[in-house]
Amino acid sequence: MHDTAPVAAATAWLVMLGETLARGDIAATLELFAEDCYWRDIVAFTWNVKTMEGKPAIAAMLEATLGGTQPSAWQVTRATGGHAQPLEAWFSFRTGVGQGQGIFTLEGGKCRTILTTLQSLDGHEEAIGFTRPMGVRHGADRNRETWSEARARQEAAFGNGADPYCLVIGGGQGGIMLGARLKQLGVPTVIVEKNARAGDSWRNRYRSLVLHDPVWYDHLPYLPFPAHWPVFTPKDKMGDWLEMYVKVMELSYWGGTECLSARFDAAEQRWTVELKRDGKPLTLKPVQLVFATGAYGPPKFIPLPGATGFKGEILHSSQYSDGARYKGKRAVVIGAASSGHDVSVDLWEAGAEVTMVQRSPTTVVRSETLMELAFDTYSETAVAAGIDVDTADLMGAATPFALQPQKQRALYDRIRARDAAFYDKLRATGFLLDFGPDETGLMMKAYRTGSGYYVDVGASQLIIDGEIGIKAGVEIETLTPTGIRFADGSEVAADLIIQSTGFHSMHEVVAKIVSREVADEIGTCWGLGSGTRNDPGPWHGELRNMYKPVAQDNLWFQGGNLALSRFFSKFVALQIKARMEGISTPVYRTPLT
């Protein structure tokens, strides 16, 4: 097959899709799809983040949205594959309000998967490239306002009570990236953060922390890391980058500001938000309120019988920053996921005697192995092949969550075979290993629960060498004045106990700031409804309540790792911008979303 054949085959299919949709002939449209088919839509058709699984679900979505979406101008931009392998095609299209982009796959001439995304709003495009601002108005003007004067005026206006259209609670990576997207779309936005400076959410964490994901996966919108940036970013370097980013992107960022309460007026369609900025009360009335407090909510403590009689110190991992004062002390870390491993290493480096208490099995993957096998589209090789971060993001989004387990299971079969000797040594210490309830490994755990895994950047070898002790699979009976007694009668002495026991759902932050009733109406955030441990069904097919309209009007959740925050910040910003401009945004929902 010559190079133009995949494009011709993809174009023929896309022309038929466009024609059947233009006629409103949903039955004919469904004939273009395989029986086992998936349509993932991000804002373009549904003003939501939804995956329709199977023909009946696709039909229901099209019946509800096709008239308002008015899709047209379908055009294949590139295609590969065909014959014995699936054909994959990238395409552009238009809706009644903007420009879209997507990817579809064909198997046997029928569509197996299709992704549609809204990329911009007509008349409200970002001012970039050829449309970038001039930055100066030539000619003499006695009333000239310089750039710095205009920035100062804008900041002073918000500080004096002028209301932004959008208020973002949380100034970590998620809030900052969303703020940058909203800024480029001309949405007046204020970001509030309890810490004093942008980047403090990274700086304040334990001293040895380094990002576990590689640089190609972690870029921020508009300003990618420079070519000399290290593959793995130290946490203070990341903090400095975020602080620089806030300045360069000209964000209205209020450090040292706590959100005390928020209440929504349904009649006015506005929030009243009470803040404390630098110790002084301030009220703002934004239209949209975004919770960007991370992927999770408040720290989760487990009950420890006998804690009142323990003579040492008990902390949550979120309260831990430096092990220097624990040199020579006996430290017990409860929890064996990412923070548990990282804190254990930091304590060991500080000279503490460390024991890790493992309550349930952990998925462990060596960083080197992930780099070799799992980051093929986020790498220097990918960049050299013309796959930039935005391309890689869309490629990843094109696989619906329902099809991820099969791909991840195959990946982890390769990983276990490659590192079999490593896993044998780790198991020999008593460490409890697993690869998820269905053998799908780290990524599916991340999506389902955000817990239960560790990318090995050094802790596992310390465990293998006996430098970090392991107490696994035995319940804690009680704390004693000098340590922990377990259900098997054994005891571990401790001067310090750190609970690396995770975090509650983000909606618990809503309960604290808005109300318990609103939080319960929204429900938990994160997870897919996979029916696996800590991710109860029913199946959602998308992350619960993230990046899309929720049960409470004018309230949004933005968070996740750097990659998810980067990708979905665009679509949260487009949804908010559309509402600001009065564009009709009929949200397609099913009983779960």
List, for residues 190-246, the tens digit of each pLDDT value.
999 999 999 999 998 888 888 989 999 999 999 999 999 999 999 999 999 999 999
What is the per-residue pLDDT for 3?
65
The pLDDT score that the predictor gives to residue 297 is 80
Reduced to 3 states (helix: H, G, I; strand: E, B; else coil), residue 153 is helix
User: 551: exposed, middle or buried (C-beta count within 10 Å: 0-12, 13-18, 19+)?
Assistant: middle
Q: Which residues contact 547 (CB under 8 A, 6 or more apart)?
A: 49, 556, 557, 558, 568, 571, 572
Average pLDDT taken over every residue of the chain: 95
Contacts of residue 322, Cβ cutoff 8 Å, sequence gap at least 6: 206, 207, 346, 350
Question: Which among 81, 245, 214, 277 has a CA at the least distance from the CA of 89?
Answer: 81
Average pLDDT of span 517-528: 96
The region of weakest confidence among 39-53, 112-126, 294-308, 486-500 is 294-308
**Per-residue model confidence as pLDDT tens digits over 422-467:** 999 999 999 999 999 999 999 999 999 999 999 999 999 999 999 9
Strands (E), 378-515: 453-456, 468-472, 476-480, 483-486, 491-493, 496-499
Helix, strand, coil: what percent of the chain each, to 5? 35, 25, 40
pLDDT at 207: 82
Neighbours of 377 (CB within 10 A): 18
**How is residue 14 written in tokens?**
């896309």
**Alpha-carbon distances, residue 232 vs 68, 128, 441 (angstroms):** 45, 30, 22
* pTM for this prediction: 0.96
Q: How much is the pLDDT for 152?
A: 86
Strands of 298-426 (E only): list them. 313-316, 330-334, 353-358, 363-366
User: Token pair for residue 49?
Assistant: 């983040």
| pLDDT score recorded for residue 322 | 87
Average pLDDT over residues 100-107: 98
Q: Is the pLDDT of residue 592 over 90?
A: no
The strand pairing partners of 99, in sequence order, are 94, 120
Neighbours of 417 (CB within 10 A): 8
The band of 1, judged by pLDDT with boundaries at 50, 70 and 90, is very low
* 288 token code pair: 């949209």
- At position 336, the amino acid (one-letter code) is A
Strand 468-472 with 353-358, pairing: parallel
Amino acid at 95: T
Helices (H), 311-354: 338-349
DSSP letter assigned to residue 500:
-
